[in-house]
Chains A and B, each alone.
Chain A
């Protein structure tokens, strides 16, 4: 018997003796998770998010000292090594977050 057929026959044996894994609540757990997710439909979820975002915007508009903050914006900008480093750090963080989010959503 060649080495090649050794591996092939080993897998053939595995195929013929593959254990049937009992469900033991596996499918029930999945359905329970799906029910949880289905509790709120996509549109309801989006609607609630938009509603609260709108409320947040209105509250911010009413109470946020926008004029005072605008006055604080510098008219001139000096680029220092520290500011460049901060910018690089922010970009790195944003890219990492985007990467992690995409990885989590990947099918």
Chain B
């Protein structure tokens, strides 16, 4: 039987077990890396760097993790803050205009994925990430957590450290913006 997340966390905190932490990483690396790819316009290199940093920060702060929260929500909270910091620094340095001006740094490596989805499906994931680039960082995160990860609004509020009302606004506006993007995309597709 697989040990629970809490048992693994206890093993890391109390015994300093790297094996237990490796198990946690193996459990959550795929969804976290996928989410970060969606949130960074499918920039694989950046998403993987952020995911790696997230796990390292999580390891050093694991003793402060409260078992009331879900481990995945806690990870998303760290990842979200790291992502915001990254974009803030990038904007401050005027290297990029956020994601919009960012060059495509990654290539599409089909080999990275287990062969459970078709190339067509993978293209859909990538297209949506591209469309979501045009939303604000907050809208992108709220929309992803709500529609893809199916988090409750309270969970999103906790992860993003924003009031519940703001979560609702972000989701509504994010959906409207995404709808516009997808409409343009569909029009462009047909023409």
A residues with CB within 8 A of B: 3-4, 6-8, 10-11, 13-15, 17-24, 26-27, 29-31, 33-35, 37-38, 103-104, 106-107
Question: Complex: how many Å from CA A56 to CA B122?
Answer: 59
B85 in contact with A33 (CB, 8 Å): no
B124 in contact with A14 (CB, 8 Å): yes
Q: How many residues of B contact A (CB 8 A)?
A: 43
A30 in contact with B81 (CB, 8 Å): no
Contacts known (A7-B175, A14-B128, A15-B148); A26 close to B113, Cβ less than 8 A: no
Q: Which 4 A-B pairs have the closest CB atoms?
A: A11-B147, A17-B121, A19-B113, A27-B25
Which partner residue on chain B sits nearest A3 by CB separation?
B179
A27 in contact with B59 (CB, 8 Å): no
User: Which of chain B's residues have a CB closer than 8 A to the CB of A20?
Assistant: 30, 113-114, 116
Tell me whether chain B's interface is mostly helix, strand or loop, or mixed: helix
B26 at the A interface (CB under 8 A): yes
A-B contact count (CB 8 A): 97
User: Which of chain A's residues have a CB closer than 8 A to the CB of B112?
Assistant: 21-22, 24
Contacts known (A20-B113, A30-B56); A107 close to B61, Cβ less than 8 A: yes
B21 in contact with A31 (CB, 8 Å): yes
B125 in contact with A14 (CB, 8 Å): yes
B13-32 contacts to A (CB < 8 Å):
16, 18, 21-22, 25-26, 29-31
B18 in contact with A31 (CB, 8 Å): yes
B46 at the A interface (CB under 8 A): no
User: Which of chain B's residues have a CB closer than 8 A to the CB of A14?
Assistant: 124-125, 128, 148
B124 in contact with A13 (CB, 8 Å): yes
A32 to chain B: closest CB distance in Å? 10
Question: Complex: how many Å from CA A56 to CA B40?
Answer: 46
Q: Which of B33, B56, B116, B125 contacts A26 (CB 8 A)?
A: B33
Offer 26 A-B interface pairs, CB within 8 angstroms, sorted by A: A7-B147, A7-B179, A10-B182, A15-B148, A15-B150, A17-B125, A18-B31, A19-B117, A20-B114, A20-B116, A22-B114, A23-B29, A26-B29, A26-B51, A27-B25, A27-B26, A30-B25, A30-B55, A30-B56, A31-B25, A34-B18, A34-B56, A37-B56, A103-B89, A107-B57, A107-B77
Most buried by B among A6, A10, A20, A33: A20
